[in-house]
Structure 1
Amino acid sequence: MREQAWQRHKREAARRDASAWHDLMPDTALSPAAVASSSAVTAGTVLTLEEVTDRHRVLYHRLSSAEMLIPVEAHLSLLASLLRGVHPEPLRHRVASAAAEAAGFAAWLWHDLGDQFKTGVYYRMADSLLAEAGNPALAGYVTGYRVLAADADGSRTEAADLAEIARARIPATASKLLRSWLAAISANALALTGGDREAVELLDQAQDLFDAAEESEAWMYDFDRGSLAAFQGQCLLRLGRPDEAVAAFAASLTGLPDECERRRASVMIDLAEACLPVGEGDAALDYARQALLVFAVRGSVDGVRRVRRVHDILDSAGYRRQADDLDQLIRGSLPDGA
């Protein structure tokens, strides 16, 4: 039933966003002949396009979200333009898959920049492309990121519903690593909506699948033991087990590569929140400060929002000095100093 309701919602949203999609694709400046034309696509061309997507995954760890949007949106426009042509079905599916992944990536970047409207537009665009891609594993993966975005925006029910849809979408042939990631995401979503028992079961399932995993899909990000530990920490914190959460977050930081600044900052802000229930106000401030430095450099509106949440928790818990110090740091990190 939820899947049927979701399909109806997608059709209605697509009608509402038709003009927005048109504005996002740079066709209007082209002549009719240019729009109508489409280059022949070979297997070599598709491979090169997929390699471009791979490079974008690497650059995400080195550039800000605003900087990343430039190549990602351009890449998406190119892929979408190629889909106007007539190509052999296997190649068309690969181009559509690459376009869906690019649309999902653009949505995630806009989420990080705090634009919920464009986030939604691009995720719906990804859904439309996935319908043509014939790649249910990728569909589950993109939906998994929608879970994370909804969760971060405070849409708890939507996150739980999307998590169920994501798990239903992936086929039995999907890698154990992908299924582990989705189970961990789902555990977190359910821990916020009262499904404590199911959350624990999914967390155990995520661990079992991870331990049995051997490989992952080419388009999946590097979901390693540290990544799983971070999800475990989030879930344990939501289940009211802060001591275990602190240990999980600390384990997630162990051995984290230097270039993974975004991931380190994300874990640190979670660790800051986990320190508060165990009475470690100064430690929470220090972790939040370190995370803020990265979020500010990367221009992450979502990251700064998470730091503000720690500030609010510090203030409400009576850590007034730490809250004031963090407030000053947040104000100083903003471009206008406000």
Structure 2
Amino acid sequence: MPERDGALPPEFWSRPTMAGALATCDMAAIVEGIRVARGWSQGDLALTVGYSQSWVSRVVNRQQSLTIEQVRDLTGRLGIPVHLLRFASPAVPGKGADPTRRRDFGKVMAAAALPLPAAPPGGDLDDTTAPALRAITGGQRRLDASSPARDLAQGAVAHVDLTARTLERARHTPLAPDIAGAAAEAAGFAAWLHADMGDHGSARAHYGTAVRRAREAGDRLLNVYMLGSLASFETDADDPALGLALAGEAGRRLGPSPHPTAAAWLACVRAMAHAELGGSVAAVAELRFAEQQVGLVDNTDPPWPWVFPFDHAKVAGCRALVAVRRHRPGEARAAFAVALAGARPGAKQGALLMAELAAAHADAGDVDEAFLLAAEALRTGRRLGSERVVARVRRFRRAYRGPGARCISELDEELASGLVT
């Protein structure tokens, strides 16, 4: 007999069909089972849950995906026992549950378990919020390749503020971890821009925010990435001892058996810090470890936030920089050739590499080529407003102790011209 009113009997939820739907969080089957058990039409069901009849029809016919808020509504309005909802993928020999679906289910469970206040915190947020925030950061990153950092910084800082306010609204909801992750990425990008502008104080502040937000997100790899990025920044900002300490902490948080991309990247961060400190043996050992990691067969499908695998070309780029610090021009130029044989870097990154390659040529006695590269890097840095690139060229010039030449005087004039206001 249909049960139009009151609670459904406990045995209803243990019936094989319903138990299976609960076990897989099959909301379409659960909703339809309740409708039939109640003796409701789809119109009756629509009135009960507060949605249109066409929406209900799409749900039970599996044509409508549900947001977290909608699952929350349905479990509350239909009396679905949240504690019985479980998740298990259909049994597939030799395979476990899909981790992506498991994560999504965890969010649904957390949302469904919350009470249904009239105006829930962050009620206007949903599972599309964090991806939307990430998309804004992604668009800004793409512009960074060819735009002055100063043109992007104001918008990036505004976006950091937006993600912070959104996170506050999402506190105590299951959306908070994903939004915290998006906030970490926004802060990390703002830090990168300020470092490019030579504003190290603001860069450190934003990197600190990025590390804290990554910790709030509960994402171990994101936390490692932000710590490693801060380590790389400190090494580049002439505090390699701090950079090495931060990279060491990131390595401890990375844990055993990490993904090869993460392990290789972090090894290269440590290698650069060792090289700046004069630790040639340690730097070479880190590079050797990085090469071993990128050569592993499972160095594919890099984990977020790494977008591409850390491959041999990227390790070669780090090897070239280490060789420059060790004043080994032959090794540096050979490594640069390997690094540049892959995907071409963006304009800013390319200018940084040019300044480093200039140092390798200068060490080899190829002065004209060295200063030609340095001058080209300087022009690119000025055009894109990158103080990071300009500072790298200045460092190259200060380190040069060789004989004079016309190309040197020309670079000095270009450097001096930038000081005239």
Structure 2 length as normaliser, TM-score?
Answer: 0.66
**CA deviation digits over 1:50-101, x for unaligned, max 9?**
2222222222212111122133222211111011124565521111111111
Q: Give yes or no for the alignment of 1:147 onto 2:255.
A: no
- Which one of the candidate residues 240, 260, 263 is aligned to 2:346? 260
Counterpart Cα distance in 1 of 2:247 and 2:218? 20
Q: Give yes or no for the alignment of 1:93 onto 2:207.
A: no
Shift of 1:173: 6.3
Aligned residue number for residue 327 of structure 1: 412
Aligned residue number for residue 73 of structure 2: none
Counterpart Cα distance in 2 of 1:206 and 1:320? 40
Counterpart Cα distance in 1 of 2:323 and 2:307? 23
Shift of 1:271: 0.3
Aligned residue number for residue 191 of structure 1: 275
Helix, strand or coil at the partner of 2:302: coil
Aligned residue number for residue 23 of structure 1: none
Shift of 1:153: 1.5
**CA deviation digits over 1:306-337, x for unaligned, max 9?**
111111223x22335433221112234x3x64
Over 6 Å off, 4+ runs = none
Q: Give yes or no for the alignment of 1:50 onto 2:134.
A: yes
Aligned residue number for residue 232 of structure 1: 319
Q: Which residue identity lines up with residue 148 of structure 2 in the other structure?
A: S
Task: Give runs of aligned pairs for residues 1-338 of structure 1, distance below 5 A.
Answer: 38=122, 40-86=124-170, 90-172=174-256, 174-212=258-296, 213-222=299-308, 223-257=310-344, 260-314=346-400, 316-332=401-417, 334=418, 337=420
Counterpart Cα distance in 2 of 1:129 and 1:59? 24
Shift of 1:171: 3.6
Shift of 1:117: 1.3
Q: Which residue identity lines up with residue 41 of structure 1 in the other structure?
A: L
Shift of 1:148: 2.0
Q: Which residue identity lines up with residue 252 of structure 1 in the other structure?
A: A
Counterpart Cα distance in 1 of 2:170 and 2:185? 21
Structure in which a larger fraction of residues adopt helix: 1
User: Is residue 137–residue 189 contact of structure 2 (8 Å, CA) maintained in 1?
Assistant: no
Name whichever of 209-218 and 302-311 sits farther off: 209-218
Shift of 1:237: 2.3
Give the fraction of aligned pairs with identical amino acids, expressed as a percent.
29
Q: CA 1:254–1:43 in structure 2 vs 1: closer, same or farther (change >3 Å)?
A: same
Q: Which residue identity lines up with residue 254 of structure 1 in the other structure?
A: A
Helix, strand or coil at the partner of 1:114: coil
After superposition, the CA RMSD in angstroms is 2.1
Structure 1 length as normaliser, TM-score?
Answer: 0.81
Q: Which residue identity lines up with residue 309 of structure 1 in the other structure?
A: R
User: Is residue 253–residue 264 contact of structure 1 (8 Å, CA) maintained in 2?
Assistant: no
In structure 2, runs of 5+ residues without a counterpart are 1-120
Q: Which residue identity lines up with residue 327 of structure 1 in the other structure?
A: D
Counterpart Cα distance in 1 of 2:145 and 2:254? 27
Q: CA 1:264–1:226 in structure 2 vs 1: closer, same or farther (change >3 Å)?
A: farther
**CA deviation digits over 1:213-246, x for unaligned, max 9?**
1121232254454332211101122234221111
Shift of 1:209: 1.2
Helix, strand or coil at the partner of 1:83: helix
User: Is residue 40–residue 87 contact of structure 1 (8 Å, CA) maintained in 2?
Assistant: no
In structure 1, runs of 5+ residues without a counterpart are 1-36
Name whichever of 72-81 and 224-233 sits farther off: 224-233
Counterpart Cα distance in 2 of 1:131 and 1:301? 30
User: Is residue 144–residue 152 contact of structure 2 (8 Å, CA) maintained in 1?
Assistant: yes
User: Is residue 38–residue 81 contact of structure 1 (8 Å, CA) maintained in 2?
Assistant: no
Pick the structure with greater CA Rg: 2
Q: CA 1:173–1:134 in structure 2 vs 1: closer, same or farther (change >3 Å)?
A: farther
